[in-house]
Structure 1
């Protein structure tokens, strides 16, 4: 007995469906059609070295905001529990109703870049001889690659009442600035003791492409574009009672821009242990090995600033070059 008693019209249409010819099976070696006769992927024909056409897959690039959709981690506890985070404690204690926030530049690694940095960290761990427990920022607990970043603010804590106003002012300050898209390059390894944390970070210092030999402004203040962005981000943070980033660099007796310019970096690892001086020097010299020469030639494109407020990430594009808009060299009065 049938489970469903179809009407005569339904039965007729069902029979016509059953009478359709079966799908053709894919022939051996046919990489362009699937078992249902549909293209299996977008392909482009090109002439190979032997003059015969070859096929290669072409995928459209992801939009720059795609990664923002997956920037949040799973909340494991509603209270600060260092045991869930390798002993780490919040730099800014969580207050119910407040929104932990951060302004930064994101660097999404390509597969070759990720593989190279993983090898770099492994070589550094070899130099540490197991005497220092080094945690890396390259890979998640699930084994997937993570984006890195260059900070443009300290950890911030915004109230529900002012978080939207903060985002509006930060967006306005960044987009009204004279900083056009630019690029920075990894330069040297260093150990960095954060004034906000009891951790020691393994960092890669970055330099603007304009600062490198042959660059347009070689010999000037280091990282002028990043310094210009930092001024604007710090100005907005101060308006909301938040501490500025790298203020201690300006207070050490050096020229403000010169002192701050050397501070920008990408963190690739951290530890609670203090490496001995000799071991520390050996570790940071690893990047100078010839096998990592390519790393020092990479260019990290900077076309936007990210504003993370709670679990939401907002994309703030930089301005475009034009009259009165020279990367890192504001010609108009500061926004704030």
Structure 2
């Protein structure tokens, strides 16, 4: 992450951090046969996705300024100030929708955007689906808050997290979208249009969060979610789930966490897991809430059919991204977390 990189909801506020080969009219002239292939019936099929590690090679952004300059980032302000010698760190799940899935999500966002009066910069909606140049971007599910480590800690932290994931016994799983909400960051300086995630049958999201929170707390960092949850702005309701920025946590020396963790001690934060798809600088008014509720109904069928496969998590420390795959086989004996 560049020093003044204003991360997505996944990387700066809820982080969530958080991409397929979609081309634009400005793309270089490449024959369609190079981009796509046809099936036996003559239909167009998407090319296989690139390995996730390929995208990690381009995970950083260009450093534009050494100061917090919202004018360079659509009015966004850094939620976590940069400290010299501190390595910004984030643990997350990265998801690359297919072309069809991108199209469904883009239609939903466009419907909301097109229904708003023009000229209101505060409520102007910005999509997380593509960059300013039209390049598709990955989406994220956060497993940690934006935290920071000193140089002497960062490698040890990644190693500890890798060992914990390997020994946890958590296997790849699928989840899907549920409700559509608007939620704010800690400072109420940005609002995010998010798709909540359903609880997987394996409860994998809560287990991954439990492992992540356990490790970051060993290093004196706050966990991602705490209870009770403060109020957020649900579509059609007034309550939601979010992090508490005022919580305090007991520091544990790295490597001294109990080895007999049990999932029965794990809290359920299912209502908090989400993927952010758009953002705005202002709190949504009733008109925007009504537009969003209507769009959610119109595209409910398409969006609900999207399946999100989770087979690895990522730890980004500075500009370095470490892939941590979930185990695909069962290891006999008790794991670090008693699973």
User: Normalization by structure 1: what TM-score?
Assistant: 0.72
1:319 equivalent in alignment to 2:327: yes
Q: 1:172 to 1:250 in 2, by over 3 A?
A: farther
User: Following the alignment from structure 1 to structure 2, what is the Cα–Cα distance between the partners of residues 88 and 67?
Assistant: 24
1:117: which partner in 2? 105
1:300: which partner in 2? 308
Gaps of 5+ in 1: 1-39, 211-216, 218-223, 326-330
The partner residue of 2:138 within 137, 147, 150 is 147
The partner residue of 2:184 within 185, 193, 196 is 193
Q: 1:59 to 1:116 in 2, by over 3 A?
A: closer
2:55: which partner in 1? 67
Q: What's the offset of the Cα at 1:79?
A: 2.3
User: Following the alignment from structure 1 to structure 2, what is the Cα–Cα distance between the partners of residues 122 and 251?
Assistant: 29
User: Following the alignment from structure 1 to structure 2, what is the Cα–Cα distance between the partners of residues 74 and 42?
Assistant: 28
1:84: which partner in 2? 72
Bigger CA radius of gyration:
1
Q: What's the offset of the Cα at 1:232?
A: 0.9
Q: What's the offset of the Cα at 1:226?
A: 0.6
User: Normalization by structure 2: what TM-score?
Assistant: 0.71
Question: For 1:183-240, what per-residue CA distance to the aligned partner results, in whole angstroms no more than 9, with x for missing partners?
Answer: 1111221011222552111100011443xxxxxx7xxxxxx21111101111111112
Contact residue 190 and residue 283 of structure 2 kept, 8 A: no
Contact residue 207 and residue 266 of structure 2 kept, 8 A: no
1:36: which partner in 2? none
Contact residue 178 and residue 324 of structure 1 kept, 8 A: no
After TM superposition, the structure 1 stretch with the greater mean CA deviation from structure 2, 60-69 or 106-115, is: 60-69
Gaps of 5+ in 2: 1-32, 232-240, 242-263
Higher RCO (C-alpha 8 Å, min separation 6): 2
User: Following the alignment from structure 1 to structure 2, what is the Cα–Cα distance between the partners of residues 321 and 135?
Assistant: 41
Contact residue 91 and residue 197 of structure 1 kept, 8 A: no
Q: 1:99 to 1:263 in 2, by over 3 A?
A: same
User: Following the alignment from structure 2 to structure 1, what is the Cα–Cα distance between the partners of residues 47 and 289?
Assistant: 43
Contact residue 103 and residue 233 of structure 1 kept, 8 A: yes
Q: 1:248 to 1:85 in 2, by over 3 A?
A: farther
User: Following the alignment from structure 2 to structure 1, what is the Cα–Cα distance between the partners of residues 285 and 44?
Assistant: 51
Q: What's the offset of the Cα at 1:163?
A: 0.6
Q: What's the offset of the Cα at 1:165?
A: 0.6
Q: For 1:70, what is the secondary structure of its paired residue? A: coil
Question: For 1:124-161, what per-residue CA distance to the aligned partner results, in whole angstroms no more than 9, with x for missing partners?
Answer: 11343345211111111221110000000000111111
1:274: which partner in 2? 283
Question: For 1:8-53, what per-residue CA distance to the aligned partner results, in whole angstroms no more than 9, with x for missing partners?
Answer: xxxxxxxxxxxxxxxxxxxxxxxxxxxxxxxx9799998x56xxxx
Q: What's the offset of the Cα at 1:277?
A: 3.3
The partner residue of 2:208 within 229, 234, 245 is 229
What is the alpha-carbon root mean square deviation over aligned residues?
3.3
Contact residue 174 and residue 200 of structure 2 kept, 8 A: yes
User: Following the alignment from structure 1 to structure 2, what is the Cα–Cα distance between the partners of residues 137 and 58?
Assistant: 22
1:1-336 equivalent positions in 2, closer than 5 A:
48=40, 62-130=50-118, 131=120, 132-195=123-186, 198-210=189-201, 224-249=203-228, 260-277=269-286, 279-289=288-298, 291-322=299-330, 332=335, 334=337
2:9: which partner in 1? none
